[in-house]
Amino acid sequence: MTSSFPPGFRWGVATSAFQIEGATTEDGRGPSIWDTFAAVPGAVAGGHTGEPAADHYHRWRADLDLLTDLGVDAYRFSVSWPRIQPDGRRFERRGIDFYRRLVEAMREREIEPFLTLYHWDLPQALEDEGGWRSRETAHRFAEYAALVHEELGDVVDHWTTLNEPYPCAVAGYGEGRHAPGAREGHGALAAAHHLLLGHGLAVRAMRAQATPQQQFGIVLNQSPAVPVSGSAADAAAAARQDTLLRRQFTDPLFGGRYAPGLAAMFDGVSDFSFRLDGDLETIGTPLDYLGVNYYYRIHVADAPHREPDPALRTVTDIGVDTTRVPDVPRTGMGWPVEPEGLTEALVGLHNRYPGLPPVYVTENGCVYADRSDFADYERISFLNEHIEAVRTAAAAGVDLRGYFCWSLLDNFEWAHGYKHRFGLVHVDYETQARTPRSSYRWYRDFVAAQRTP
């Protein structure tokens, strides 16, 4: 018999502000880096922008009805920083009012709000001052966090600082694939550090005014790196990949040190002079939970650097080849379907960091081409297998507290625009009609069955 999930385990779905809200100029909202980036020709597929998205800003009540009918007891959403501080400083009350209405309506429905403060939509005004390259942005973030916490602390108990600092720093400031579209070596590493610093400062600022039941955490994407062979060179390459994507963040957060090996990988690219005394302690401020987002594993082979001169190297040019993916099923994004990678990620964290806080799987989901009747059997089997992988990790001793499917609705999938659809619910972007897919009904029945004693 399979073991059941721990008592009180939460079942939820996740979204983020820029991906679903639309209404990018309403109620005083200022531009974010994603508005600016999407306006650059060629930056986002199809020339898509944050409009109309799923028009959630106007349709949030109907979307909460979808949550009620789904039967989930938790909803992970994000607050748009440029709605709260349109220029990165000035407070816009209409922004906070929107989230208060949303959260109060969740409470009425007995759905626990899991609030994320930063899901990639930095106010453009702060990018103009240096963005995450600049240490100042970490302080602005802590001020913003304290402000939202002061305003919504009476109705929200679960506070996540950042969603996935890795792509913010590396895709945003290293590869230029995400906003703000910069291609810098040192800048990306500084951005990663300042994101972590901002996280630590924000947790401290919120805790100073928090009630005892409030919980603070961070969400990290965890794609374990697997060497393509048993060779020492491939193992070392996989270790470099893990250092860049995972340990750059998890070691200072949970291990009390900067990732060993990170500085050596970027010799000639960065001098790490942005690390100041005391930063490590701030970053390592104890947390109540870690959120893990899992989509795929990365298969890694040793390879020569693309750019021989270290000083000219981009931040992902770390002597790896990540194209040698084994012959396994792929999702519509082309991502290999390997649920065992989720167990591996969770158990690996648990084994590496003795002080790891309780863990939620805060995102997991997939894209497949739609049939006319929205019968998405592939998504059902994907979710089923990954939930089983979470169960296996829990049985192995990982302190798991919940699972959130990405996503409730189809939405703006960053540089891919609206082409790729992750929703349990289909969105017609012309009419904004919502049509639950078969996976929505499957998840509803699955969640209901977990509650039946």
Active site residues: 164, 363
Is there a contact between 292 and 389 (Cβ–Cβ < 8 Å)?
no
Binding track, positions 242-281, relative to ligand FCB; x by CB under 6 A: ----------------------------------------
Can you read off the two tokens belonging to residue 418? 């609206």
Is there a contact between 94 and 27 (Cβ–Cβ < 8 Å)?
yes
> What is the Cβ-side half-sphere exposure of residue 323, based on CA atoms within 13 angstroms?
3
The values of phi and psi at residue 415, to 5°, are -65, -15
Residues present in the chain in total: 453
The residue among 274 and 404 lying less far from ligand FCB, judged by its C-beta, is 404
The residue among 57 and 414 lying less far from ligand FCB, judged by its C-beta, is 414
Among candidate residues 435, 432, 408, 433, the one with its CA nearest the CA of residue 70: 408
Binding track, positions 72-101, relative to ligand FCB; x by CB under 6 A: ------------------------------
- Does residue 37 touch ligand FCB according to CB under 6 A? no
The residue among 19 and 314 lying less far from ligand FCB, judged by its C-beta, is 19
Binding track, positions 137-166, relative to ligand FCB; x by CB under 6 A: --------------------------xx--
- Does residue 11 touch ligand FCB according to CB under 6 A? no
- Does residue 34 touch ligand FCB according to CB under 6 A? no
Can you read off the two tokens belonging to residue 372? 């006319």
The residue among 317 and 363 lying less far from ligand FCB, judged by its C-beta, is 363
**Chosen residue from 195, 198, 413, 437 binding ligand FCB by CB under 6 A:** 413
Strands (E), 164-273: 215-221, 225-227
> Distances from the Cα of 366 to the Cαs of 56, 90, 295, 399, in angstroms?
21, 38, 8, 25
Can you read off the two tokens belonging to residue 278? 């005391």
Helix or strand holding residue 293 (H, E) = strand 289-293
Cβ burial of 238 (10 Å; 0-12, 13-18, 19+) is buried
The residue among 214 and 322 lying less far from ligand FCB, judged by its C-beta, is 322
- Does residue 414 touch ligand FCB according to CB under 6 A? yes
The residue among 89 and 419 lying less far from ligand FCB, judged by its C-beta, is 419
Is there a contact between 198 and 162 (Cβ–Cβ < 8 Å)?
yes
Q: How many residues bind ligand FCB (CB under 6 A)?
A: 11
Binding track, positions 391-410, relative to ligand FCB; x by CB under 6 A: ---------------x----
Helices (H), 353-412: 377-395
Distance of closest approach, residue 16 Cβ to ligand FCB, in angstroms: 5
Q: Which amino acid is located at 211 in the chain?
A: T
**What is residue 76's three-state secondary structure?**
strand
**Chosen residue from 21, 317, 338, 363 binding ligand FCB by CB under 6 A:** 363
Binding track, positions 193-232, relative to ligand FCB; x by CB under 6 A: ----------------------------x-----------
- Does residue 121 touch ligand FCB according to CB under 6 A? no
**Chosen residue from 293, 314, 364, 439 binding ligand FCB by CB under 6 A:** 293
Distance of closest approach, residue 437 Cβ to ligand FCB, in angstroms: 16
Distance of closest approach, residue 413 Cβ to ligand FCB, in angstroms: 5
The residue among 358 and 417 lying less far from ligand FCB, judged by its C-beta, is 417
If one counts every other C-beta atom within 10 angstroms of the C-beta of residue 359, the result is: 24
**What is residue 121's three-state secondary structure?**
coil
Is there a contact between 266 and 189 (Cβ–Cβ < 8 Å)?
yes
Q: Please state, in angstroms and rounded to a whole number, the distance separating the CA atoms of residues 104 and 102.
A: 6
Q: Which residues bind ligand FCB (CB under 6 A)?
A: 16, 19, 163-164, 221, 293, 363, 406, 413-414, 422
